[in-house]
Chains A and B, each alone.
Chain A
Amino acid sequence: MYTSLFYKEWIKTRRPLLLLSAVFAATVAYILLNVAKLYQANPVALWEFIVQNNAAQAGYLKYLTLGAGIALALVQLAPEMQNKRLKLTLHLPLNESKIVGSILWFGIVALTGLYLASGAILLAGLTVYFPAEIVSANLLAMLPWMLGGLAAYLFAAWICLEPVWRQRVLYTIPALGCTSLFYLDALPGAYLPFVPWLASLTVAGFAFPFYSAIRFKQGVQ
């Protein structure tokens, strides 16, 4: 039954996921080509670039993680809310929490895979040109953005599953506030002490869509 639920999510998301993968791949390729070009043309300029960017070449991925999280939530859940199609899903002979959990896990696994794959390729590419310190600085810079993408996905799911428009607007305010915590401008590594807190916030965000699903189930209007 779970494979069937994942199959449904795959059918909904396969093309958007392909598109997101292409965008991430293009961004990573652009960053690496940019670095390679600077490296070949003028290594001094490259180091200037590093200083200007606080040693973080991965900056182009920053808001892409956020956009991917929100986009995936919309692709998965907007069709469920259209014509209240979620009723069909929740009427399947499975515990309703497990159904909602399966939908969310699919999204989290897909996003995590996307973030890790693009992050790994980028970091592997950077090791050709930079010492380990610069590469790890990039890793530390990307970590909160990736968590932010997952949190944005969960907050968007929370808003999307909510049956009342007024509540959706109200949920958007704390969702924006919490998500912005992941994207504050800071030196790479400055976030490190906060990463456990940001991770906790992401984990807590997993509960919110269930609250909306309960309200949907109760027919709140």
Chain B
Amino acid sequence: MNAIIQCENITHYYGNRLIYENLNFEVMPGKILGLLGKNGTGKTTIINILTGFLKPRAGVCRIFGEAMERLTPAAKSRIGLLLEGHIQHTYFNIEQIEKFYSRFFPKWKREAYYELLKRLQVTSTQKISAMSCGQRSQVALGLLFAQDPDLLILDDFSMGLDPGYRRLFVEYLREYITAENKTVFLTSHIIQDMEQLIDDCIIMDYGRILLHEPAAHILNHFRRFRFTSDADEIAPADGTLWHTEKVGNNWETYSFASAADVQRTLADGGAAVSGLAEERLSLEDAFIGLTGKY
């Protein structure tokens, strides 16, 4: 099966600041991939590269087998793009924007758009500029549903939404992508929302991919371990432990390894530990464990 998205050896700088070096990843058909990273790790940058709005210093991304810089109209019609902040053409009203987009997409589903907007307290002649961010997010989502693309690229879809609209957005999106077997590449700074949606997860660190695993693998195997120790410093001996640090009088560390292996690794490092307790983590906690708090 051919990958829907392929990124090969992407290297990019802003001025002299390295954003990525040799970034590689793929998204297979029907998968929902979430891109997580702290501010400034280049989440929007990769979306800009993917959609052809940024030329990287080196490397190539392909969508449906086409290089991102020269996507054909046919390929573009199969990609639904949601810009950060649910940006839309705000000079249109609800009817006009549907009329505008409908002529570009062969599979346009007018009813999908109006079905979603029926639940908003807006009139069909209301201008998008006069809507709240939450209402605009529903317009943007309705337009994506009507376009019926094979691939959705959603940049920070939670941005500016209150909890109600976030929940609404996630629920509609989840229902749609599950029913229609869509491929999705998304970012959000609210990891709780991602947890409900994604199959696979890329966690970015500054300049590189820290981890690319199925979300279920992270949730099932990545653990926080709390323990006590008299040691002033515990230096992880190998790559088994992540972000081992003292919190008050106790210590904590994160690992994919079992409790026994963690105990052994700590002992091998010369730390006398006691009361090792293992905790399951949410994706957000796992993200903190992998990237650190700072």
Contact = CB atoms under 8 A, between A and B. Distances in A.
Contacts of A62: none
Nearest to B52: A217
A90 B68 CA distance: 13
A8 B90 CA distance: 11
Given A7-B99, A8-B100, A217-B53, A85 B87 contact: yes
Given A7-B99, A91-B76, A93-B77, A219 B55 contact: yes
A88 B87 contact: yes
B100 A4 contact: yes
A12 interface: yes
Interface residues on chain A, size class:
20 to 34
Nearest to A4: B103
Given A84-B83, A217-B53, A92 B88 contact: no
Contact of B81 (A7, A8, A91, A218): A91
Interface in B61-115: 73-74, 76-77, 79, 81, 83, 85, 87-92, 96, 99-101, 103-105
B54 interface: yes
Instruction: Please report whether the interface of chain A is mostly helix, strand, loop or mixed according to DSSP.
Output: helix
A87 B53 contact: yes
Contacts of A3: 103
Interface residues on chain B, size class:
20 to 34
A14 B97 CA distance: 16
Interface string A13-26: 00000000000000
A7 B102 CA distance: 12
A219 B14 CA distance: 11
The residue in A84, A91, A216 that gathers the most chain B C-beta atoms within 10 A of its C-beta is A91
Interface string A62-78: 00000000000000000
B51 interface: yes
A44 interface: no
A11 interface: yes
Nearest to B103: A4
A93 B81 contact: no
Contact of B79 (A8, A85, A91, A218): A91
A93 B76 contact: yes
B53 A219 contact: yes
Interface in A41-96: 79, 83-85, 87-88, 90-95
Contact of A84 (B77, B87, B105): B87
A1 interface: yes
B83 A93 contact: no
A221 to B, nearest CB: 7
A214 B42 CA distance: 22
Interface in B31-76: 48, 51-55, 73-74, 76
A94 B71 CA distance: 10
B14 A93 contact: no
Contacts of A95: 73
Interface of A: 1, 3-4, 7-8, 11-12, 79, 83-85, 87-88, 90-95, 216-219, 221
25 contacts: A1-B103, A3-B103, A4-B100, A4-B103, A4-B104, A7-B99, A8-B89, A11-B100, A79-B89, A83-B87, A85-B87, A85-B88, A87-B51, A87-B87, A88-B87, A88-B89, A91-B76, A91-B81, A92-B76, A92-B104, A93-B104, A95-B73, A218-B55, A219-B55, A221-B14
Query: Top 4 nearest A-B pairs by Cβ distance?
Result: A219-B54, A93-B77, A93-B73, A4-B103
Given A4-B101, A87-B51, A88-B81, 20 more contacts: A4-B99, A7-B96, A7-B99, A83-B85, A84-B87, A85-B83, A85-B89, A87-B53, A88-B83, A91-B81, A92-B104, A93-B77, A93-B104, A94-B104, A95-B73, A217-B53, A218-B54, A219-B48, A219-B55, A221-B14
